[in-house]
Amino acid sequence: MQPPALAWEQVTKLYGDTAAVADVSLAVDGGSFVALVGTSGSGKSTLLKMANRLVEPTRGRVLLGGEDVTRGPAPAVRRRIGYVFQNIGLFPHLTVAENVAIGPRISGQPVPDVAQLLDLLELPRDVAPRMPAELSGGQRQRVGIARALAPGAKLLLLDEAFGALDPVTRDALGQRLRALHDELGLTTILVTHDMAEALLLATRVVVMKAGRVVADETPAALLAGGGGDAAQALVAVPRDQAARLAAVR
């Protein structure tokens, strides 16, 4: 049997007396699309950062493809994980093409096919020689995802990656991400505070509250009322909005 693509085993991260993450055990199978939701401060970012060793757990361990991430050097782990943040941090003085290829270049890996990566993200190829400042926010975010995938990473972690985008761009990029996930056979974890986005894109929705996982359900189960109070409070937001929209005359 294949080990999970990524697993947290009884992981706790303390900052002083505060448990940012409290005894979380979570296994993510290869090929799944997990949405990680929860209010601000619930521990989502800390959980993700422990996967690529930006943060070290106080207790417990994180397994990547069945192997403890602390066993090898951190850069080797990071090459296997594509990581996308909200403030994507493209290098402003490098072209789009140089930004996309930066990871493999730094680590001495073969230069990726930038044109192909731009195609995957549905970016016109003529953005390749441009500087990041000459792109729209949505285009920059697409470049960030292309860069995350450039080392050939099959595991993609996105931390509020669409946060700064307008709703139309956000929706289009979410759908592109889901298609890309299916086409490339990725394992994707998308951190979002938008339950509608989670329900529409993911195959599994994990809800965090105060450092703990409080629900772990399929979108269908959540929409049918499962997952408990914290999860249902989040599901209520888009549902109430839809009902109010339907009532507008």
Site residues for ligand ADP per CB under 6 A: 15, 18, 20, 38, 40-46
Evaluate whether 12 touches 22 at the Cβ level (below 8 Å). yes
Q: Which of residues 40-79 bind Mg ion (CB under 5 A)?
A: 45
- Here's the x/- map for Mg ion, 154-193, by CB under 5 A: it reads as ----------------------------------------
Specify the residue, 45 or 141, whose C-beta has the smaller distance to Mg ion: 45
How near is the Cβ of 44 to ligand ADP at its closest, in Å?
4
> For 175, how many CA atoms within 13 A lie in the half-sphere containing its CB?
6
CA distance 90 to 98: 10
Does 99 sit near Mg ion (CB under 5 A)? no
Specify the residue, 47 or 199, whose C-beta has the smaller distance to ligand ADP: 47
Going along 71-134, which residue ranges are E strands? 81-84
Residue 150 contact, options Mg ion, ligand ADP, none, Cβ 5-8 Å cut-off depending on partner type = none
Going by C-alpha positions, the residue among 204, 211, 217, 79 that lies closest to residue 148 is 79
Report the length, in residues, of the chain.
249
CA distance 97 to 129: 6
- The residue number whose beta carbon is nearest to Mg ion equals 45
Please give the residue ranges that form the binding site for Mg ion (CB under 5 A): 45
